[in-house]
Amino acid sequence: MTAHEIDYTIYGEEMQYVEIELDPQEAVIAEAGSFMMMDEGVKMETVFGDGSHKDTGFLGKILGAGKRILTGESLFMTAFYNEIIGKRKVAFASPYPGKIIPIDLTQFGGKFICQKDAFLCAAKGVSVGIEFSKKLGRGLFGGEGFIMQKLEGDGMAFVHAGGTMAKKELMAGEILKVDTGCIVGFDHTVDYDIEFVGGIKNTIFGGEGLFFATLQGPGTIYIQSLPFSRLAGRVLASAPQGGGKNKGEGSILGGIGDLLDGDNRF
């Protein structure tokens, strides 16, 4: 194996974290902001690009870092090394309520496609790159643009799904239609395209968007019930305008509440 062999345990139900056990000289790479805690003896180091052995030399590292810019991520990733004798542990937390999904890349033919913000951490040696869409419709209307992330190698990787996670196994030729934002990731053997909802009423009054994704097997698909974009949209829609309280909230009862809490100004 080219990637480090790591052991792990996932804790929690709704706000999960993954604890990774590192043997001496083993390492794990992670996105900035996902770190939770680590034992003494683990060294944290910022690396240029994805830290894999795939991009060698200065030019290779520049290209690796450039790929990360295209997916909207930082130029750098963080690597955590066990520098002492004996096992040490490091933990990474999910960014919002949902599930952490362990991905053994050897079971996916060495390649897994995921949303650009789904990746959490992986064994050092796993390459975190980009997957270009070759279809115009998929790139323009797929919700994730022309680019998704791809994880390559023979080690363990961990991705995050918002809300409740559904795992679907598609047979050859079997098709599943999914909201574009609800896709977490899928096997590289899955054919991914975009389909127009159709119909005047659906288009104008449907409220579910104009397009959905069609995923055709064979392969494995991971679906999330609460995409972060949907969560953020609901929060923004409920936020008061102008930095004050939402005067429309609760209608008459809301006004009475303002009188009682002394917030009514003349």
- In the chain, the number of structural domains is 1
251: in domain:
no
Range of the domain at 17: 7-237
- Cα gap 34→92, rounded to integer Å: 5
pLDDT at 241: 64
198: in domain:
yes
100: in domain:
yes
- Cα gap 133→145, rounded to integer Å: 8
Match 């053997």 to its residue by tokens: 189
Six-digit token string for 222: 């991971």
261: in domain:
no
Q: Which residue has the higher pLDDT, 8 or 61?
A: 8
28: in domain:
yes
Of the given ranges (86-95, 175-184, 202-211), which has the lowest mean pLDDT? 202-211
85: in domain:
yes
206: pLDDT strictly greater than 50: no
Using an 8 Å Cβ cutoff, are 170 and 190 in contact? Answer: yes
What tens digit of pLDDT does each residue of 118-157 get?
899 999 989 888 776 655 455 455 454 456 888 999 899 9
When mean pLDDT is compared over 39-53, 201-215, 245-259, the highest value belongs to: 39-53
End-to-end Cα distance, the chain: 72
What tens digit of pLDDT does each residue of 6-52 get?
899 999 988 899 999 999 989 999 987 889 999 999 999 887 766 56
What tens digit of pLDDT does each residue of 73-82 get?
556 788 999 9
Assign residue 230 the CATH number of its domain.
Answer: 3.60.160.10
255: in domain:
no
pLDDT at 142: 47
pLDDT at 95: 86
